[in-house]
Amino acid sequence: MNRSIHVMMLGFRGFPGVQGGVETHAEHLCPLLVEMGCRVTVLARSPYQPTEIGRDWKGIKFVSLWIPKSKGLEAIIHTFLGVLYAAIKRPDILHIQAIGPAIMTPLARLLGLRVVVTHHGPDYDRQKWGRFARLILQLGERWGMRCSNGRIVISKVIADLVRGKHGVKSVLIPNGVVLPQLPDSLAALEHFDLERGRYVLLVSRLVQEKRHLDLIAAFQQANLPDWKLVIVGGADHPDPYQREVLKKAAEAGIVMTGFQRGLALQELYAHAGLFVLPSSHEGLPIALLEALSYGLPVLASDIPANLEVCLPAERYFPLGNTKALAERITLLSNERLTLEEREHIRAWVTQRYNWRNIAEKTLTLYIGCLGRN
């Protein structure tokens, strides 16, 4: 029965190995939907989609649509073109990821498409957007939640927001994580001159809401002479914030690796001494879940999305309080988890945030939208 379900997905740059939380979400979800019998077509943005992947990957069909590489325009243009393409190809479900692209939900419905929208977080709260962009994102949330056939939210915080602002119910299907193999290799550490267990790690795009400058300031205050701070990630569109982070990092001797993937990223995760996520805005942070899947001790800002992961209280610090963060970094730099403790963390997070369960719940929603039993 499931083989007849053709899902077309858009609202992100592409995958695999493309930087971004929504991209990682789709990269893990789509192959599992294929395994469960769906036909999955992904509408990617041509400037970002890896050319070496080709048109098929793990049973997924990729269609790369041209868009201008512009922070303010690319998402909405890509979604508009994607909706028109979907109207021609007539998938059973058009699945739009994120509230910005969801502004095209009324058009998709007008063209006779069944639409599912995943709300990954109130993007209008991100510091990078101006007043007009925030208005568009708020409109995308409103239309996406009120006009779609099915609504997915990735956290309880977002579910409460959707119910309170828009008076509609949603299905809570969180982000997930894959239990990784722990690599013994150290090539990435050797390349960046790092010592195993002696560096603080942050993996994120270089955007304001990730609060890299807070972490740099706190790490300097912590004064750990035999430790380094490693920031993994880059910016899709160079801007003053990225330049400020690079400037401060250079002055403080911070290791900036740029975007990493594959074995290099696995090594950087596996051998870190501490993972820190100081962000002011998240949906449900995949990078934090990934750090836990490697059994790392973690610290996170006390925003609602991070609190929803339900870490022990001492693993949170007040958002923007660099002094408190520095004190926690100093304290945890002296902590050494045993292999048994790390395996317990790994088992806990992968049981709670299992991608196969997530894919099954997503498929159930699709079937419900199609009116099937």
**pLDDT for the residue numbered 2:** 44
Q: Which domains does the chain have, with CATH numbers?
A: 2-176+354-369 (3.40.50.2000), 187-352 (3.40.50.2000)
**pLDDT for the residue numbered 124:** 81
The pTM of this model reads 0.85
* CA atoms of 50 and 55, how far apart (whole Å): 10
* CA atoms of 112 and 83, how far apart (whole Å): 11
Bridge-based pairing state of the strands 228-232 and 274-277: unpaired
Contact 145, 323 (CB under 8 A): no
**pLDDT for the residue numbered 276:** 98
Contact 48, 18 (CB under 8 A): yes
CA distances from 238 to 115, 153, 205, 206, 258 (A): 33, 30, 11, 9, 13
**φ, ψ of residue 104 in degrees (nearest 5):** -90, 5
Handedness of CA 320, 247, 260, 201 (dihedral sign): negative
**pLDDT for the residue numbered 70:** 75
**pLDDT for the residue numbered 142:** 97
**pLDDT for the residue numbered 283:** 84
**pLDDT for the residue numbered 1:** 44
* CA atoms of 330 and 311, how far apart (whole Å): 19
Instruction: Work out the number of other CB atoms within 10 angstroms of the CB of residue 146.
Output: 16
**pLDDT for the residue numbered 373:** 42
Q: What 3-state DSSP class applies to 127?
A: coil
Instruction: List, for the chain, all residue ranges whose pLDDT scores fall below the cut of 70.
Output: 1-3, 72, 127, 372-373
Contact 12, 97 (CB under 8 A): yes
